[in-house]
Structure 1
Amino acid sequence: MEYSGSRVYDDHDFFENYMARRHREESPNKVIEYPALMTLLGDVREKTILDLGCGDASLGEELLKQQCERYVGIDGSQNMCHQAELKLKGTKGSVVQSNLESYGYPSHTFDCVVSQLVLHYIEDLDHIVKKVYDTLKPGGEFVFSVLHPVMTASFKSMTGKKTDWIVDDYFQTGRRIEPWIGESVVKYHRTIEEYFLLLQRAGFTIQGLREGTPQRENFQHQDEYERRQRIPLFLLLSCTKK
């Protein structure tokens, strides 16, 4: 069975295995992607923030600790929304269960829209980016991370702990099927150039780009740090609404 979007997280076994992997001590999400994302986000005090594909709202919990004015998370998974509601209880945060395509983006509402490792699951990303542009206030920021295109490019997938990576079919963009945590998951490959042009067409001004360069102080083990120096796992972009 192939899973698209967030549906896979409502499979109980997949959800449990994913959460264990996502929150393990040296998860690449934790030690590579998250520090780079927070650098691009900068000071969030008094900002209203929309989180696309919020998962269990771990990011929202941190942004609220950093005194953002209001946080709204969107996720299509019932399991994820339940976890997010538990995290956000008693805070200025809330969660909406909806897929990103169907959510009603209110115009000129948010100071910042953020998304962690979600947009490579979206087929019609142009539509989402235009909605993001509309929901931001003038001067608002869009900051997101995706799997690096060298990771999504190849049709040839490998399971287990990799010691080498296949980079192939880079300019053949579009749908990919990847075996992940025992299931087949649909992703969409785009080049770095395509992400850049997509944002530019929507009217955004690109402000920053990161590839998640590993920082030694974030790793407990030298061998894992050295392994993560070999290939970029993440692409992060920040842009502003004119």
Structure 2
Amino acid sequence: SARTLALQCAMKDPQNCALSALTLCEKDHIAFETAYQIVLDAATTGMSYSQLFTIARYMEHHGYPMRAYKLATLAMTHLNLSYNQDTHPAINDVLWACALSHSLGKNELAAIIPLVVKSVKCATVLSDILRRCTLTTPGMVGLHGRRNSGKLMSLDKAPLRQLLDATIGAYINTTHSRLTHISPRHYSEFIEFLSKARETFLMAHDGHIQFTQFIDNLKQIYKGKKKLMMLVRERFG
């Protein structure tokens, strides 16, 4: 049958055939399970993060949020976003995966954050995730009828503390990377970037002190860039 053929194709070439096999097998529970298993088996070796994210979104769309989550976590392990890749096409997938985890609950969010921290070194993406996680309580969607205490997660405790530290670290690293070869026409953009960094620093309870030290440090190391440091002083003291 077409389903059997689709499953055979998926086993031979999961990259190109897994999604169509799932689609073909939607109405047949056993075949669908088989196709999903093929994807899981291929996920660690034979699939790219973009393929896994596509299938993960398909799973969510068809009402399998936990499977979507599982595939999203597998996709995250293949991903590597460096500090300057703030327009990378996978960013939307990362934000989606974090939103999905957040909607499932605290445990799912706690499990995906270490993967995010490992894969994503881009400060603006990390701060976006952090902001979204602090705005609402995890699991508010109330999947599987689980009750939710309705408490926001603390930035002083895991997993958000780890995300906050990673975001601050990413801002610091990116700042130094940008300053090694910055031209005057990028000065104002750089000052805006530092303002964004400050917002993240201030989320930490000692963030004000940390940020002041960070700025003092910059003024010391890059004092040769007089015009830029004057702008830094004007904005941040």
Task: Give the TM-score normalised by structure 1.
Answer: 0.28
Q: Which of 1 and 2 has greater Rg?
A: 2
Please state which structure has a larger fraction of its residues in strand. Answer: 1
Please state which structure has a larger fraction of its residues in helix. Answer: 2
- Using CA pairs below 8 Å that are at least 6 residues apart, which structure has the higher relative contact order? 1
Task: Give the TM-score normalised by structure 2.
Answer: 0.28
